[in-house]
A and B are shown apart, each in its own frame.
Chain A
Amino acid sequence: MLDVSHVSKNFGALRAVDDLSFTAGQGAVFGLLGPNGAGKTTSIRMILDILQPDEGEIRWDGVRVDAETRHTFGYLPEERGLYPKMRIRDQLLFFARLHGMPDVEAKARIAQLAEAFHLQEAIKKTPVELSKGNQQKVQFMAAIAHKPPLLVLDEPFAGLDPINVEIFKRLIRELIAAGTTIVLSSHRMEQVEELCRDICIIDRSKPVLKGNLAEIKRAWPDRFIRMTAIPNTAFLAKFPGVTVLPSENGYSKLKMPPQIAPADILREAVSSAPIDHFEVVEPSLRDIYLQYVRPEEPVA
């Protein structure tokens, strides 16, 4: 279990992370969300002991994270690369060695992962001969080859096609099933929603929301309606507090306060346009995120 407790980090006058606390449990994915520059990468670097917090502490299974413990962690950085002219298999073996894995075990593990990622032939090549998606798979392999108990994934899905996203998700689920603790930072809300049990949203260095994602959704005061796209929303004037959200996948989306009955809205809607789809839904992670993260101030 990863325990981040009241952690802060300053860079000169800039407070990059301000009093961040969360716990990431075993066999689950913890989502670390926030806009660019909110302090996610700095937080991740502190978890990995690359940077040391100015205040607070980070513990893994009760022990303060140091060079010894972080050696066992796996990390897929957002900005990532490989040695361009070194054979993939040699690179993977090199990274596994750096994490202290014995060669025999590492070779078997690399073969097994290559099969899972359909890269049996590719690992005999150098990165320059590989597509970007395949390079990304190799980087993912490098992060998990040594079977880390804690895996930190920073934007793992960026630049991946849907098929590869599915492969990544499948592997992440396998890792969870095997008891790995995963910290995931991503802007892809659908994937975070699908994979994360708990989340923490950081905005401008401060945590603004954290907890179990299902509970957050359940406790959310506003309700949401997803319905057939309606061209004219004038009828909504009768319902104070109801707002029209950007449409999702061709459906109209409404947010309504708890005192309004969905049936009333349905009745009005049907009288103004033909409706063949109408459902009351929980807030999506995107709705929650947009509620908490303030838009960037215009640059002066």
Chain B
Amino acid sequence: MKTVLTIAAREYTERIKQKGFIIGTILGVLLIVGLSFMFVVFGLLSSAFTTSVAIVAPSPAVGAIIEHTLRKADRSYRLTVVPQHSQDSQLPAAVRDALEKKKYDAALVAYYNRNKQLAFSYYPEQPNALSKASDLKQYLLPAVIVADGMKRGNTRAENELNFPFTTVNLNKHFKSEAEQSQSQILVYFLLLLMYMSVILYGIYVAQGVIEEKSNRVMELMIGAVRPSQLLAGKIFGIGSLALTQLIIIGGASMLINATAAANFSQQLLHSGGAGAASSSTGLGILTVPLLSWVYLIVFFLLGFFTYATMFAGVGALASKPEDLQQTNSIFTLPIIVAYLLSLLVLVDPQQPVVVWGSLIPMLSPMVMFARVATSDVPAWQVAVAIAGSFAAIWLFTLLAGKLYRIGVLMYGKPLAPKEILRAIRAHT
């Protein structure tokens, strides 16, 4: 074990100093920062488009106040006060029909709750309406103050600042408000990150093996350690390197999250709460939930080990970097298929092809990650995907260990598939 750690430590410390790693990490951080603030840009853009909202109020007077307030706050709303009156948070059937027929992008139900306080339920149907939920809440505060004052003659500021506002998703594909607004872009980014990391670091493993063979360090190494230790050390070292990169990029993302939250509380302090203008989503800053990072790391590790063991075996059989090019294109094919399938997940996570794909080893790490990050997946399916990956890793490790023993001291022309099979059998 100590030998494996020594080898892993060398791989790690030598590669972490390389320009490629440093530049890659910086680019990753810049990309996630850029993406995080992209919603600010999107927000600006989407404000140029109108969102049509149906207002359901307990009385025509309240309806008029809400309409007036919102119109003043944001000109991008196209507002309609419907004739139906609300009793509670329920959406009147006629309005629901109109939403389904896409007559409105969203409906806002204002009602008096049990505490006789003005409360709101927001029913977004279209994604653009969903992203406006927090803006809307912020705009509604003056309407609450005016409406409460009208009804009871006095206002209780602390109640009004925290007036009830709930968002009810009508579109079943939305996982939740916060996640939906972020999932598409961020999951896409994380998938890209995972796809590139698995391919890049997998090929690093193969290249590392070939480098050691072609500069003949392998001969010195093999005199000191077993091929299996060499294989394990290399994979663990490069795997830790990849993990470091993910953690740095993830950490940067978490930092943005924390900064946004700090910013929010700062604003609360300064404005005494009245301008509870911004939650982190309200600011338009996109953040990746911690759980998504955890999923990313778990499935990345599964994917990395699946492909790294495979690439190590491939590398052991090659003598020159050129030999790798052909074989690499064959072995990266499953990753590309997995990537394409996981993009389909973003369109519809329930499609049979992606559900099946997420259960098949070699495809499962990416496809299952895309599924868990965008929708609720039955636990047994996640368990099957993980168990399948472990089985694949076990199998590939056995195979790679054998290929390694055969291949590390073999130079010259690459073996034909028939010779490889014979050699594997000879070593069992």
Contacts and interface: CB of A to CB of B under 8 A. Distances in A.
Interface of A: 45, 48, 50, 67, 70-71, 73-75, 77-86, 94-95, 97-100, 139, 142-143, 152
Interface stretch (B6-14, B127-135, B280-288): B6-14
A138 to B, nearest CB: 10
B225 interface: yes
B26 interface: no
Given A81-B220, A139-B220, A142-B220, A98 B215 contact: no
Contacts of A152: 223
Given A50-B223, A98-B224, A99-B224, A77 B216 contact: yes
B214 to A, nearest CB: 8
A72 to B, nearest CB: 10
A86 B15 CA distance: 10
B350 to A, nearest CB: 50
Nearest to A154: B219
B298 interface: no
Contacts of B221: 98
B6 A83 contact: no
B217 interface: yes
B90 interface: no
Nearest to B221: A98
Contact of A86 (B6, B7, B14): B14
Interface residues of B, number: 19
A85 B215 CA distance: 11
B45 to A, nearest CB: 47
Interface of B: 2-3, 6-7, 10, 14, 215-226, 409
Contacts of A139: 220
- The winner among B2, B10, B223, B225 for most chain A CB atoms within 10 A is B223
B216 A81 contact: yes
- The winner among A67, A98, A142 for most chain B CB atoms within 10 A is A98
Contact of A73 (B2, B14, B223, B409): B223
B10 A79 contact: no
B14 A83 contact: yes
Nearest to A86: B14
B226 A77 contact: no
B75 to A, nearest CB: 61
Given A50-B223, A80-B216, A83-B217, 14 more contacts: A50-B222, A50-B409, A70-B223, A71-B224, A77-B220, A77-B223, A80-B219, A81-B215, A81-B218, A84-B215, A94-B6, A95-B220, A100-B2, A143-B220
Contacts of B3: 98
B386 to A, nearest CB: 33
Contact of B219 (A73, A74, A79): A79
Nearest to B225: A98
B6 A97 contact: yes
Given A86-B14, A94-B6, A48 B219 contact: no
A85 B216 contact: no
Question: Which 5 A-B residue pairs are closest in the complex by CB-CB distance?
Answer: A75-B223, A81-B216, A77-B219, A81-B215, A98-B224
B14 to A, nearest CB: 6
B119 to A, nearest CB: 66
Contacts of A95: 220, 224
Contacts of A94: 6, 10
- The winner among A79, A100, A139, A142 for most chain B CB atoms within 10 A is A79
A16 B84 CA distance: 95
A26 B161 CA distance: 90
B7 A98 contact: yes
Contacts of A67: 226
Nearest to A87: B14
A81 B14 contact: no
A86 to B, nearest CB: 6
B215 A83 contact: yes
A51 B222 CA distance: 10
Contacts of A45: 409
Nearest to B14: A86
23 contacts: A45-B409, A67-B226, A73-B223, A74-B223, A75-B220, A75-B223, A75-B224, A77-B219, A77-B220, A77-B223, A79-B216, A81-B217, A81-B219, A81-B220, A85-B14, A94-B6, A97-B6, A98-B7, A98-B221, A98-B224, A98-B225, A143-B223, A152-B223
B409 to A, nearest CB: 7
Contacts of B223: 48, 50, 70, 73-75, 77, 143, 152
Contacts of B14: 83, 85-86
A73 B224 CA distance: 8
Contacts of A71: 224-225
Contacts of A75: 220, 223-224
Nearest to B215: A81
A82 B221 CA distance: 10
B185 to A, nearest CB: 38
B220 to A, nearest CB: 6
A45 B222 CA distance: 10
Contacts of B219: 77-81
A74 B220 CA distance: 9
B52 to A, nearest CB: 63
A229 to B, nearest CB: 43
B217 A82 contact: yes
Contacts of B215: 81-84
